[in-house]
Structure 1
Amino acid sequence: MTEADAGPEDAPHTSRAVLTAAGIEKSYQRGMWPARRPVPVLRGVELALAPGEVVGLVGENGSGKSTLMKILVGALAADAGAVTRGGRIGYCPQEPVVYERLTCDEHFELFGHAYGLSPEAERRSRRQIYAALGFERYATTRTDRLSGGTLAKLNLGLALLADPEVLLLDEPYAGFDFDTYLKFWDLVEQRRRAGRSVLVISHFVTDQERFDRIVELRDGQAVAR
Protein backbone atom coordinates (compact mmCIF):
# COMPACT_ATOMS: atom_id res chain seq x y z
CA MET A 1 0.00 0.00 0.00
CA THR A 2 1.41 3.39 -0.93
CA GLU A 3 0.93 6.66 0.92
CA ALA A 4 -1.55 7.68 -1.77
CA ASP A 5 -3.67 4.62 -0.97
CA ALA A 6 -3.29 4.80 2.79
CA GLY A 7 -6.21 5.56 5.08
CA PRO A 8 -6.30 8.23 7.80
CA GLU A 9 -4.63 5.89 10.26
CA ASP A 10 -1.58 5.51 8.00
CA ALA A 11 -0.87 9.04 6.72
CA PRO A 12 -1.90 12.63 7.47
CA HIS A 13 -4.46 14.34 5.27
CA THR A 14 -2.57 16.53 2.82
CA SER A 15 -4.74 19.58 3.59
CA ARG A 16 -3.12 19.84 7.03
CA ALA A 17 0.33 18.57 6.08
CA VAL A 18 3.39 20.75 6.61
CA LEU A 19 5.31 18.85 3.93
CA THR A 20 3.84 16.98 0.96
CA ALA A 21 5.52 15.06 -1.84
CA ALA A 22 3.21 14.08 -4.70
CA GLY A 23 4.14 11.79 -7.58
CA ILE A 24 7.90 12.21 -7.15
CA GLU A 25 9.92 10.53 -9.89
CA LYS A 26 13.68 10.47 -10.38
CA SER A 27 15.97 8.52 -12.70
CA TYR A 28 19.73 8.49 -13.13
CA GLN A 29 21.68 7.77 -16.29
CA ARG A 30 23.74 4.58 -16.10
CA GLY A 31 26.27 2.95 -18.41
CA MET A 32 28.67 4.25 -21.04
CA TRP A 33 27.65 6.11 -24.19
CA PRO A 34 26.08 5.05 -26.53
CA ALA A 35 24.51 2.44 -24.26
CA ARG A 36 23.56 4.89 -21.51
CA ARG A 37 20.03 4.43 -20.22
CA PRO A 38 17.87 5.95 -17.49
CA VAL A 39 17.46 3.82 -14.36
CA PRO A 40 14.42 4.81 -12.27
CA VAL A 41 15.07 5.31 -8.55
CA LEU A 42 11.83 6.97 -7.44
CA ARG A 43 8.58 5.96 -9.16
CA GLY A 44 5.77 8.26 -8.05
CA VAL A 45 6.55 8.64 -4.34
CA GLU A 46 3.68 9.99 -2.21
CA LEU A 47 4.50 11.24 1.27
CA ALA A 48 2.98 13.74 3.71
CA LEU A 49 3.97 14.95 7.18
CA ALA A 50 1.46 16.36 9.66
CA PRO A 51 2.34 18.93 12.35
CA GLY A 52 4.00 17.26 15.31
CA GLU A 53 4.53 13.97 13.50
CA VAL A 54 7.74 11.92 13.71
CA VAL A 55 8.20 9.63 10.71
CA GLY A 56 10.95 7.12 9.94
CA LEU A 57 11.94 6.53 6.31
CA VAL A 58 13.75 3.24 5.77
CA GLY A 59 14.96 1.22 2.80
CA GLU A 60 17.83 -0.79 1.43
CA ASN A 61 21.02 0.84 0.16
CA GLY A 62 20.26 2.35 -3.23
CA SER A 63 16.51 2.53 -2.61
CA GLY A 64 16.53 6.31 -3.10
CA LYS A 65 16.23 7.55 0.50
CA SER A 66 18.87 10.28 0.23
CA THR A 67 17.67 11.19 -3.27
CA LEU A 68 14.15 11.72 -1.91
CA MET A 69 15.50 13.76 1.02
CA LYS A 70 17.44 16.06 -1.32
CA ILE A 71 14.30 16.56 -3.42
CA LEU A 72 12.22 17.32 -0.32
CA VAL A 73 14.67 19.98 0.84
CA GLY A 74 15.06 21.47 -2.65
CA ALA A 75 18.70 20.49 -3.20
CA LEU A 76 17.81 18.22 -6.15
CA ALA A 77 15.15 18.59 -8.84
CA ALA A 78 12.67 15.78 -9.40
CA ASP A 79 11.97 14.54 -12.92
CA ALA A 80 8.25 14.71 -12.16
CA GLY A 81 5.95 15.45 -9.24
CA ALA A 82 5.78 18.31 -6.76
CA VAL A 83 6.85 19.14 -3.21
CA THR A 84 4.79 21.53 -1.08
CA ARG A 85 6.41 23.01 2.01
CA GLY A 86 4.23 24.60 4.66
CA GLY A 87 7.01 26.10 6.76
CA ARG A 88 10.72 26.49 7.28
CA ILE A 89 12.82 23.39 6.57
CA GLY A 90 15.83 22.30 8.61
CA TYR A 91 18.12 19.83 6.83
CA CYS A 92 20.77 17.61 8.40
CA PRO A 93 22.60 15.84 5.53
CA GLN A 94 24.37 12.54 6.03
CA GLU A 95 27.75 14.17 5.35
CA PRO A 96 28.24 17.44 7.28
CA VAL A 97 28.71 20.53 5.12
CA VAL A 98 31.14 22.64 7.12
CA TYR A 99 34.11 24.95 6.63
CA GLU A 100 37.26 23.47 8.11
CA ARG A 101 38.79 26.77 9.25
CA LEU A 102 35.67 28.03 11.03
CA THR A 103 34.81 27.30 14.66
CA CYS A 104 31.47 25.95 15.86
CA ASP A 105 30.48 29.45 17.00
CA GLU A 106 31.38 30.89 13.60
CA HIS A 107 29.26 28.25 11.86
CA PHE A 108 26.24 29.16 13.97
CA GLU A 109 26.78 32.85 13.22
CA LEU A 110 27.08 32.16 9.49
CA PHE A 111 24.01 29.93 9.35
CA GLY A 112 22.05 32.31 11.57
CA HIS A 113 22.71 35.10 9.09
CA ALA A 114 21.66 32.85 6.20
CA TYR A 115 18.42 31.99 8.04
CA GLY A 116 17.72 35.68 8.64
CA LEU A 117 17.92 35.38 12.43
CA SER A 118 18.75 38.38 14.55
CA PRO A 119 22.09 38.14 16.42
CA GLU A 120 20.21 37.79 19.71
CA ALA A 121 17.99 35.00 18.40
CA GLU A 122 20.96 33.16 16.91
CA ARG A 123 22.95 33.34 20.16
CA ARG A 124 19.96 32.21 22.23
CA SER A 125 19.29 29.23 19.95
CA ARG A 126 23.01 28.38 19.85
CA ARG A 127 23.22 28.26 23.66
CA GLN A 128 20.19 25.98 23.82
CA ILE A 129 21.68 23.61 21.23
CA TYR A 130 25.05 23.47 22.98
CA ALA A 131 23.33 22.64 26.26
CA ALA A 132 20.95 20.09 24.75
CA LEU A 133 23.67 18.16 22.88
CA GLY A 134 26.49 18.78 25.36
CA PHE A 135 29.26 20.23 23.21
CA GLU A 136 29.56 23.84 24.42
CA ARG A 137 33.22 23.28 25.34
CA TYR A 138 33.96 23.04 21.60
CA ALA A 139 32.38 26.41 20.80
CA THR A 140 35.68 28.00 19.76
CA THR A 141 37.21 24.86 18.21
CA ARG A 142 37.74 24.72 14.44
CA THR A 143 35.77 21.99 12.74
CA ASP A 144 38.87 20.35 11.27
CA ARG A 145 39.85 19.53 14.88
CA LEU A 146 36.54 18.02 15.95
CA SER A 147 35.90 14.33 16.44
CA GLY A 148 33.36 12.64 14.20
CA GLY A 149 30.81 12.54 17.01
CA THR A 150 31.14 16.25 17.81
CA LEU A 151 30.96 17.10 14.12
CA ALA A 152 27.69 15.14 13.95
CA LYS A 153 26.36 17.24 16.85
CA LEU A 154 27.28 20.44 15.02
CA ASN A 155 25.64 19.13 11.85
CA LEU A 156 22.40 18.49 13.75
CA GLY A 157 22.68 21.79 15.62
CA LEU A 158 22.89 23.80 12.42
CA ALA A 159 19.69 22.14 11.17
CA LEU A 160 17.95 23.00 14.46
CA LEU A 161 19.19 26.59 14.69
CA ALA A 162 16.17 28.36 13.18
CA ASP A 163 13.60 26.14 14.95
CA PRO A 164 12.18 24.83 11.65
CA GLU A 165 8.62 23.58 11.31
CA VAL A 166 9.98 20.52 9.48
CA LEU A 167 13.28 18.82 10.34
CA LEU A 168 14.73 16.46 7.70
CA LEU A 169 17.47 14.18 9.03
CA ASP A 170 19.57 11.84 6.88
CA GLU A 171 21.16 9.19 9.15
CA PRO A 172 21.39 11.80 11.94
CA TYR A 173 22.76 9.66 14.76
CA ALA A 174 25.64 8.04 12.88
CA GLY A 175 28.66 8.70 15.08
CA PHE A 176 26.64 9.42 18.24
CA ASP A 177 27.50 7.69 21.48
CA PHE A 178 24.61 6.27 23.48
CA ASP A 179 24.29 9.35 25.72
CA THR A 180 24.04 11.64 22.67
CA TYR A 181 21.59 9.21 21.06
CA LEU A 182 19.28 9.63 24.06
CA LYS A 183 19.71 13.42 23.98
CA PHE A 184 18.79 13.34 20.30
CA TRP A 185 15.50 11.61 21.05
CA ASP A 186 14.79 14.05 23.88
CA LEU A 187 15.12 16.84 21.30
CA VAL A 188 12.81 15.01 18.89
CA GLU A 189 10.20 14.59 21.61
CA GLN A 190 10.41 18.30 22.47
CA ARG A 191 9.79 19.12 18.83
CA ARG A 192 6.84 16.76 18.65
CA ARG A 193 5.25 18.46 21.68
CA ALA A 194 5.84 21.85 20.06
CA GLY A 195 4.00 20.75 16.91
CA ARG A 196 7.17 20.47 14.83
CA SER A 197 7.55 17.60 12.35
CA VAL A 198 10.57 15.32 11.98
CA LEU A 199 11.48 12.93 9.15
CA VAL A 200 14.36 10.56 9.94
CA ILE A 201 16.11 8.52 7.25
CA SER A 202 17.87 5.35 8.37
CA HIS A 203 19.00 2.05 6.89
CA PHE A 204 17.05 0.37 9.68
CA VAL A 205 14.94 1.59 12.57
CA THR A 206 15.37 0.62 16.19
CA ASP A 207 13.14 1.97 18.98
CA GLN A 208 10.16 1.92 16.65
CA GLU A 209 7.91 3.16 19.45
CA ARG A 210 9.56 6.57 19.14
CA PHE A 211 8.01 7.04 15.68
CA ASP A 212 4.42 7.80 14.75
CA ARG A 213 4.86 5.98 11.43
CA ILE A 214 7.48 4.02 9.54
CA VAL A 215 7.55 4.36 5.75
CA GLU A 216 9.67 2.11 3.55
CA LEU A 217 11.02 3.00 0.12
CA ARG A 218 10.51 -0.16 -1.89
CA ASP A 219 10.67 -0.49 -5.68
CA GLY A 220 10.74 3.28 -5.95
CA GLN A 221 7.58 3.89 -3.94
CA ALA A 222 6.76 4.81 -0.34
CA VAL A 223 5.03 1.91 1.38
CA ALA A 224 3.51 2.11 4.87
CA ARG A 225 4.86 -0.50 7.30
Structure 2
Amino acid sequence: MRLEAVGRRYRARGPWVLRGIDLDVPEGALLRVEGGNGSGKSTLLRLLAGIDVPTTGRITGRPRTAYVPERFAATLPFDAAGYLVHMGRVHGLCGRQAAARTEEWLERFGITGFAGTALDRLSKGTAQKVAVAQALLAEPELLVLDEAWAGLDTAARALLDEAVTERVAAGGTAVYVDHDPRRLAEAVPRRHRVAAGRLTDGPGGADEMARVVIEAEGTGEPPAALPPHSWTAGPAAGAPGLLRIRVPADRADAALRALLDADPPWHIRAVRSTGGTSPSGAVR
Protein backbone atom coordinates (compact mmCIF):
# COMPACT_ATOMS: atom_id res chain seq x y z
CA MET A 1 0.00 0.00 0.00
CA ARG A 2 1.31 3.46 -0.84
CA LEU A 3 0.30 7.06 -0.14
CA GLU A 4 1.55 9.56 -2.70
CA ALA A 5 1.39 13.34 -2.10
CA VAL A 6 -1.72 12.83 0.03
CA GLY A 7 -3.39 15.87 1.55
CA ARG A 8 -6.61 16.30 3.51
CA ARG A 9 -8.66 19.30 4.48
CA TYR A 10 -12.34 19.43 5.39
CA ARG A 11 -13.43 22.68 3.74
CA ALA A 12 -12.58 24.07 0.32
CA ARG A 13 -10.56 26.91 1.82
CA GLY A 14 -10.01 25.40 5.22
CA PRO A 15 -6.63 24.62 6.79
CA TRP A 16 -4.75 21.54 5.67
CA VAL A 17 -4.87 18.81 8.31
CA LEU A 18 -2.36 16.76 6.32
CA ARG A 19 -0.34 17.75 3.28
CA GLY A 20 2.27 16.13 1.03
CA ILE A 21 2.15 12.73 2.78
CA ASP A 22 4.29 10.05 1.12
CA LEU A 23 4.24 6.71 2.90
CA ASP A 24 4.94 3.09 2.03
CA VAL A 25 3.02 0.53 4.09
CA PRO A 26 4.67 -2.83 3.32
CA GLU A 27 3.38 -6.30 4.10
CA GLY A 28 4.43 -7.71 7.44
CA ALA A 29 5.16 -4.30 8.97
CA LEU A 30 4.34 -2.76 12.32
CA LEU A 31 3.99 1.04 12.14
CA ARG A 32 3.49 3.38 15.05
CA VAL A 33 2.15 6.89 14.33
CA GLU A 34 3.02 9.60 16.85
CA GLY A 35 2.28 13.28 17.26
CA GLY A 36 0.63 15.85 19.48
CA ASN A 37 -3.09 16.36 19.99
CA GLY A 38 -4.68 17.70 16.81
CA SER A 39 -1.62 16.90 14.70
CA GLY A 40 -3.57 14.78 12.21
CA LYS A 41 -2.80 11.26 13.51
CA SER A 42 -6.41 10.12 13.48
CA THR A 43 -6.99 11.65 10.05
CA LEU A 44 -4.01 9.70 8.71
CA LEU A 45 -5.34 6.46 10.20
CA ARG A 46 -8.80 7.04 8.72
CA LEU A 47 -7.19 7.57 5.32
CA LEU A 48 -5.21 4.34 5.70
CA ALA A 49 -8.36 2.46 6.69
CA GLY A 50 -10.41 3.86 3.79
CA ILE A 51 -12.86 5.57 6.17
CA ASP A 52 -11.81 8.95 4.75
CA VAL A 53 -10.57 9.95 1.29
CA PRO A 54 -7.73 12.31 0.31
CA THR A 55 -8.40 15.84 -0.88
CA THR A 56 -5.24 15.62 -2.98
CA GLY A 57 -2.89 12.81 -3.94
CA ARG A 58 -3.74 9.14 -4.11
CA ILE A 59 -3.68 5.89 -2.13
CA THR A 60 -3.01 2.65 -3.99
CA GLY A 61 -2.80 -1.02 -3.10
CA ARG A 62 -5.04 -0.99 -0.03
CA PRO A 63 -5.39 -4.59 1.25
CA ARG A 64 -8.31 -6.11 3.14
CA THR A 65 -8.54 -3.77 6.12
CA ALA A 66 -10.09 -3.64 9.59
CA TYR A 67 -10.26 -0.51 11.72
CA VAL A 68 -10.80 0.28 15.39
CA PRO A 69 -11.67 3.97 15.89
CA GLU A 70 -10.77 6.10 18.87
CA ARG A 71 -14.45 6.18 19.84
CA PHE A 72 -16.70 3.21 19.13
CA ALA A 73 -20.22 4.13 18.01
CA ALA A 74 -22.19 1.88 20.37
CA THR A 75 -25.58 3.22 19.20
CA LEU A 76 -25.91 0.70 16.37
CA PRO A 77 -29.07 -1.50 16.50
CA PHE A 78 -27.32 -4.78 17.37
CA ASP A 79 -26.51 -6.86 20.36
CA ALA A 80 -22.82 -7.72 20.82
CA ALA A 81 -22.92 -11.11 19.09
CA GLY A 82 -25.15 -9.90 16.28
CA TYR A 83 -22.83 -6.99 15.58
CA LEU A 84 -19.76 -9.23 15.44
CA VAL A 85 -21.45 -11.73 13.11
CA HIS A 86 -22.59 -8.84 10.90
CA MET A 87 -19.08 -7.37 10.76
CA GLY A 88 -17.65 -10.82 10.05
CA ARG A 89 -19.91 -11.00 7.00
CA VAL A 90 -18.85 -7.47 5.97
CA HIS A 91 -15.23 -8.63 6.18
CA GLY A 92 -16.03 -11.52 3.81
CA LEU A 93 -16.64 -14.48 6.14
CA CYS A 94 -19.51 -16.87 5.51
CA GLY A 95 -22.22 -17.02 8.17
CA ARG A 96 -20.85 -20.12 9.85
CA GLN A 97 -17.31 -18.72 10.01
CA ALA A 98 -18.55 -15.41 11.33
CA ALA A 99 -20.58 -17.11 14.06
CA ALA A 100 -17.69 -19.38 15.09
CA ARG A 101 -15.17 -16.56 15.27
CA THR A 102 -17.66 -14.37 17.11
CA GLU A 103 -17.96 -17.06 19.76
CA GLU A 104 -14.16 -17.43 19.88
CA TRP A 105 -13.45 -13.73 20.40
CA LEU A 106 -16.25 -13.21 22.90
CA GLU A 107 -14.67 -16.02 24.92
CA ARG A 108 -11.11 -14.73 24.51
CA PHE A 109 -12.15 -11.32 25.83
CA GLY A 110 -14.21 -12.87 28.62
CA ILE A 111 -17.48 -11.25 27.53
CA THR A 112 -19.53 -14.27 26.43
CA GLY A 113 -22.11 -13.30 29.04
CA PHE A 114 -22.78 -10.07 27.13
CA ALA A 115 -23.40 -11.74 23.75
CA GLY A 116 -27.10 -10.87 23.83
CA THR A 117 -26.70 -7.39 25.33
CA ALA A 118 -27.53 -4.40 23.17
CA LEU A 119 -24.45 -2.38 22.22
CA ASP A 120 -25.80 0.81 23.79
CA ARG A 121 -26.18 -0.98 27.14
CA LEU A 122 -22.59 -2.19 27.34
CA SER A 123 -20.05 -0.54 29.59
CA LYS A 124 -17.34 1.47 27.85
CA GLY A 125 -14.76 -1.25 28.49
CA THR A 126 -16.96 -4.06 27.21
CA ALA A 127 -17.98 -2.03 24.15
CA GLN A 128 -14.31 -1.43 23.39
CA LYS A 129 -13.63 -5.17 23.55
CA VAL A 130 -16.41 -5.69 20.99
CA ALA A 131 -14.90 -2.98 18.78
CA VAL A 132 -11.51 -4.69 18.91
CA ALA A 133 -13.00 -8.15 18.35
CA GLN A 134 -14.74 -7.07 15.13
CA ALA A 135 -11.38 -5.99 13.71
CA LEU A 136 -9.57 -9.17 14.67
CA LEU A 137 -12.07 -11.92 13.87
CA ALA A 138 -11.55 -11.78 10.08
CA GLU A 139 -7.72 -11.80 10.29
CA PRO A 140 -7.29 -8.65 8.15
CA GLU A 141 -4.27 -7.98 5.97
CA LEU A 142 -4.11 -4.43 7.36
CA LEU A 143 -5.11 -3.67 10.94
CA VAL A 144 -5.56 0.03 11.79
CA LEU A 145 -5.84 0.85 15.51
CA ASP A 146 -6.55 4.38 16.73
CA GLU A 147 -6.09 4.34 20.53
CA ALA A 148 -7.68 0.88 20.52
CA TRP A 149 -6.18 0.04 23.96
CA ALA A 150 -8.01 2.93 25.66
CA GLY A 151 -10.73 1.67 28.00
CA LEU A 152 -9.46 -1.93 28.04
CA ASP A 153 -8.47 -3.65 31.26
CA THR A 154 -4.95 -4.99 31.75
CA ALA A 155 -5.75 -8.52 30.53
CA ALA A 156 -7.52 -7.24 27.41
CA ARG A 157 -4.64 -4.90 26.60
CA ALA A 158 -2.22 -7.82 26.81
CA LEU A 159 -4.52 -9.88 24.58
CA LEU A 160 -4.61 -7.10 21.98
CA ASP A 161 -0.79 -6.81 22.12
CA GLU A 162 -0.58 -10.54 21.47
CA ALA A 163 -3.13 -10.41 18.65
CA VAL A 164 -1.27 -7.58 16.89
CA THR A 165 2.07 -9.39 17.06
CA GLU A 166 0.39 -12.57 15.80
CA ARG A 167 -1.05 -10.71 12.80
CA VAL A 168 2.31 -9.16 11.93
CA ALA A 169 4.19 -12.45 12.41
CA ALA A 170 1.70 -14.08 10.03
CA GLY A 171 2.52 -11.50 7.33
CA GLY A 172 -0.15 -8.90 8.06
CA THR A 173 0.45 -5.21 8.68
CA ALA A 174 -0.60 -3.16 11.68
CA VAL A 175 -0.64 0.63 12.02
CA TYR A 176 -1.45 2.07 15.41
CA VAL A 177 -1.63 5.15 17.62
CA ASP A 178 -1.38 4.78 21.39
CA HIS A 179 -0.60 7.16 24.23
CA ASP A 180 1.70 4.64 25.96
CA PRO A 181 5.23 4.99 24.49
CA ARG A 182 5.97 1.40 25.59
CA ARG A 183 3.11 -0.10 23.58
CA LEU A 184 4.51 -2.93 21.41
CA ALA A 185 8.02 -1.52 21.89
CA GLU A 186 9.49 -5.06 22.10
CA ALA A 187 8.31 -5.63 18.52
CA VAL A 188 10.43 -2.64 17.39
CA PRO A 189 7.80 -0.75 15.40
CA ARG A 190 8.69 1.58 12.57
CA ARG A 191 7.84 5.04 13.89
CA HIS A 192 6.40 8.00 12.01
CA ARG A 193 5.62 11.41 13.50
CA VAL A 194 2.91 13.80 12.33
CA ALA A 195 3.66 17.46 12.97
CA ALA A 196 2.25 20.55 11.27
CA GLY A 197 0.44 18.31 8.81
CA ARG A 198 3.64 16.63 7.64
CA LEU A 199 4.96 13.12 8.21
CA THR A 200 8.52 12.31 9.24
CA ASP A 201 10.36 9.21 10.41
CA GLY A 202 10.81 9.07 14.16
CA PRO A 203 13.15 6.92 16.28
CA GLY A 204 12.97 3.38 15.03
CA GLY A 205 12.61 4.53 11.41
CA ALA A 206 13.37 2.70 8.19
CA ASP A 207 16.90 1.54 8.96
CA GLU A 208 15.83 0.17 12.35
CA MET A 209 12.82 -1.53 10.78
CA ALA A 210 14.81 -4.12 8.82
CA ARG A 211 13.18 -7.47 9.45
CA VAL A 212 13.88 -11.06 8.54
CA VAL A 213 11.18 -13.69 8.10
CA ILE A 214 12.36 -17.28 8.58
CA GLU A 215 10.22 -20.26 7.66
CA ALA A 216 11.24 -23.55 9.26
CA GLU A 217 9.78 -27.04 9.42
CA GLY A 218 10.15 -29.47 12.28
CA THR A 219 8.60 -31.18 15.27
CA GLY A 220 8.36 -30.40 18.94
CA GLU A 221 8.10 -27.05 20.67
CA PRO A 222 9.78 -23.95 19.16
CA PRO A 223 13.17 -23.31 20.79
CA ALA A 224 12.98 -21.30 24.00
CA ALA A 225 15.76 -19.02 22.72
CA LEU A 226 13.50 -17.48 20.06
CA PRO A 227 12.43 -13.88 20.77
CA PRO A 228 9.00 -13.70 22.48
CA HIS A 229 5.96 -12.92 20.27
CA SER A 230 8.09 -13.39 17.12
CA TRP A 231 6.58 -16.57 15.73
CA THR A 232 3.43 -18.36 14.65
CA ALA A 233 3.19 -22.12 14.36
CA GLY A 234 1.03 -24.89 12.96
CA PRO A 235 -2.20 -24.00 11.13
CA ALA A 236 -1.75 -20.29 11.93
CA ALA A 237 1.30 -20.30 9.68
CA GLY A 238 -0.35 -22.32 6.93
CA ALA A 239 0.70 -25.94 7.58
CA PRO A 240 1.24 -28.36 10.47
CA GLY A 241 4.85 -28.36 11.63
CA LEU A 242 5.60 -25.05 9.93
CA LEU A 243 7.07 -22.22 11.98
CA ARG A 244 7.19 -18.65 10.68
CA ILE A 245 9.47 -16.31 12.62
CA ARG A 246 9.70 -12.56 12.15
CA VAL A 247 12.61 -10.88 13.92
CA PRO A 248 14.68 -7.68 13.67
CA ALA A 249 17.53 -8.20 11.21
CA ASP A 250 20.19 -7.98 13.91
CA ARG A 251 18.59 -10.97 15.70
CA ALA A 252 18.16 -13.18 12.64
CA ASP A 253 21.46 -15.05 13.07
CA ALA A 254 20.60 -15.87 16.68
CA ALA A 255 17.15 -17.15 15.64
CA LEU A 256 18.68 -19.35 12.93
CA ARG A 257 21.20 -20.77 15.39
CA ALA A 258 18.43 -21.55 17.88
CA LEU A 259 16.49 -23.46 15.22
CA LEU A 260 19.50 -25.37 13.91
CA ASP A 261 20.79 -26.23 17.40
CA ALA A 262 17.42 -27.55 18.59
CA ASP A 263 17.01 -31.28 19.30
CA PRO A 264 15.83 -32.35 16.78
CA PRO A 265 16.95 -29.43 14.55
CA TRP A 266 14.46 -27.49 12.47
CA HIS A 267 14.78 -27.51 8.66
CA ILE A 268 15.10 -23.95 7.28
CA ARG A 269 12.77 -23.60 4.29
CA ALA A 270 13.10 -19.90 3.47
CA VAL A 271 14.68 -16.67 4.69
CA ARG A 272 13.69 -13.24 3.41
CA SER A 273 14.14 -9.58 4.34
CA THR A 274 11.05 -7.36 4.69
CA GLY A 275 12.29 -3.80 4.91
CA GLY A 276 15.06 -1.45 5.95
CA THR A 277 18.63 -2.53 5.45
CA SER A 278 19.50 -6.14 4.65
CA PRO A 279 20.83 -8.33 7.46
CA SER A 280 24.44 -9.41 7.40
CA GLY A 281 25.78 -12.86 6.72
CA ALA A 282 23.90 -15.73 5.16
CA VAL A 283 20.37 -14.43 5.66
CA ARG A 284 20.19 -11.87 2.86
TM-score by length of 1: 0.82
Kindly report which structure 2 residues correspond to 1:84-103, keeping only aligned pairs within 5 A, or say none. Answer: 84-103=60-79
Alpha carbons of 1:86 and 1:71: their partners in 2 closer, same or farther (altered >3 Å)?
closer
Partner SS for 1:69:
helix
Q: Cα offset for 1:112?
A: 2.4
What is the total number of aligned residue pairs between the two structures? Answer: 201
What is the distance in 1 between the residues matched to 2:86 and 2:6? Answer: 32
Q: Which has the higher contact order (CA 8 A, sep 6+)?
A: 1
Alpha carbons of 1:147 and 1:126: their partners in 2 closer, same or farther (altered >3 Å)?
same
Deviates further, 163-172 or 205-214: 205-214
TM-superposition CA deviations, 1:152-199 (whole Å, max 9, x none): 110111122321100011110110111111111011111112111110
In the alignment, structure 2 segments of 5+ residues that lack a partner are 203-284
1:171 maps to what in 2? 147
Alpha carbons of 1:222 and 1:44: their partners in 2 closer, same or farther (altered >3 Å)?
same
1:185 maps to what in 2? 161
Of 192, 204, 219, which residue of structure 2 is paired with 1:215? Answer: 192
Q: Cα offset for 1:203?
A: 4.3
2:176 maps to what in 1? 200
Check whether the contact 2:143–2:173 (CA below 8 A) recurs between aligned residues: yes
Is it true that 1:148 corresponds to 2:124 in the alignment?
A: yes
Partner SS for 1:40:
coil
Q: Cα offset for 1:133?
A: 2.3
Partner SS for 2:7:
strand
Is it true that 1:160 corresponds to 2:136 in the alignment?
A: yes
Q: Which amino acid aligns with 1:40?
A: W
Q: Which amino acid aligns with 1:222?
A: L
1:26 maps to what in 2? 8
Q: Which amino acid aligns with 1:224?
A: D
What is the distance in 1 between the residues matched to 2:181 and 2:53? Answer: 27
Deviates further, 47-56 or 148-157: 47-56
Q: Cα offset for 1:92?
A: 0.9
TM-score by length of 2: 0.66
Q: Cα offset for 1:100?
A: 4.7
Is it true that 1:47 corresponds to 2:23 in the alignment?
A: yes
Q: Cα offset for 1:85?
A: 3.0
Alpha carbons of 1:204 and 1:22: their partners in 2 closer, same or farther (altered >3 Å)?
farther
What is the distance in 2 between the residues matched to 1:132 and 1:50? Answer: 29
Q: Which amino acid aligns with 1:48?
A: D
Is it true that 1:138 corresponds to 2:114 in the alignment?
A: yes
1:58 maps to what in 2? 34
TM-superposition CA deviations, 1:115-172 (whole Å, max 9, x none): 3321111122213322332222211111122111111110111122321100011110
What is the distance in 1 between the residues matched to 2:201 and 2:115? Answer: 41
Partner SS for 1:117:
coil
RMSD, matched Cα: 1.9
Q: Cα offset for 1:101?
A: 4.2
Deviates further, 133-142 or 206-215: 206-215
1:109 maps to what in 2? 85
Is it true that 1:81 corresponds to 2:57 in the alignment?
A: yes
Partner SS for 1:155:
helix
